[in-house]
Structure 1
Amino acid sequence: MTGISDHHAYIAAAPKQFRPLLKRLRLRLAEALPDTEELIMYDMPGFGFGKTIIVGYAAFSKQCGLYVHSGAIAANADDIASAGLKATKTGIVFSPHHPIPDELVVTLALASRKELGL
């Protein structure tokens, strides 16, 4: 998905099975970070300020990802594992069959913001 101009267009261009999941994720992130801007950077939607992304999300062919500061992942590793999700240094992958819990989305978004000092 290249050349995407906003979150609506990104979600509309995502694989159909991921659209409801991405809409819900976007809503939770907007609620968790109400004073931030919706940004598109590196063809991926996110929330932040100017050129600083606090949290981003993406859809791929078989899964979705939530991307935050590495410190947010490390600080919440137990919660991520308890939810049965896989994490990398800066992201968590999930699917419609195994979505990321809303409360974990909020926790990670706020932790990423804290790590960035915003």
Structure 2
Amino acid sequence: MAEKATTVEEYLSALDPARRAELERIRALVKQLVPDTEETISYGMPTLKYKNRALVYYTSSKKHMSFYPSSWAIEELKDRLENYTTTAHAIQFTLATPLPDDLIRDLVRVHQREIDAGRS
């Protein structure tokens, strides 16, 4: 199953095609926004690293998918996340309620800004 994947491709290939397409959309959007990212698996999830730090994680669970842009980004943009279940670090969404491109871009920009500022 996807939890045991050792590469991002392996993780994505184990998913239902619709969920894979949704996570591929997010992956492509983040890579377009921050082209100098490195892909890896971290904590069992596909991860895009920027300046040797996790920029975002994304994952698929049984009932939802999750996007992990950082607690700072979630806190800063919490007014735009009211329609989603959130935790300190993650935003949960489904195929019926995907994350809009502009929201993903803004979440990534916040975290990239914080990494660039040296926040830890």
Same fold, judged at TM 0.5 (above):
yes
- Give 1:89's aligned amino acid: A
Superposition deviation, residue 49 in structure 1: 3.9
Higher RCO (C-alpha under 8 Å, 6+ residues apart):
1
Superposition deviation, residue 48 in structure 1: 0.9
Task: Tell me the distance in 2 between the aligned counterparts of 1:91 and 1:60.
Answer: 13
Aligned to 1:89: 88
Aligned to 2:44: 43
Aligned to 2:97: 98
TM-score normalised per structure 2: 0.86
**CA spacing shift, 1:7–1:100, aligned 2, 3 Å:** same
Q: Which runs of 5+ in 2 are unaligned?
A: none
Aligned to 1:112: 111
Q: Does 1:76 align with 2:85?
A: no
Over residues 10-54 of structure 1, what are the superposed CA-to-partner deviations in whole Å (9 max), with x where a residue is unaligned?
111123441111111111111121111112111111111475211
CA contact (8 A) 1:40 1:46 kept: yes
Aligned positions, number: 116
State the 4+ residue runs in structure 1 displaced beyond 3 angstroms.
none
Superposition deviation, residue 76 in structure 1: 0.5
Task: Tell me the distance in 2 between the aligned counterparts of 1:54 and 1:105.
Answer: 12
Task: Tell me the distance in 2 between the aligned counterparts of 1:60 and 1:3.
Answer: 13
CA contact (8 A) 2:3 2:11 kept: no
Task: Tell me the distance in 1 between the aligned counterparts of 2:52 and 2:45.
Answer: 13
Aligned to 1:67: 68
TM-score normalised per structure 1: 0.88
Task: Report SS of the residue matched to 2:41.
Answer: strand
Cα RMSD for the two superposed structures: 1.7
CA contact (8 A) 1:15 1:59 kept: no
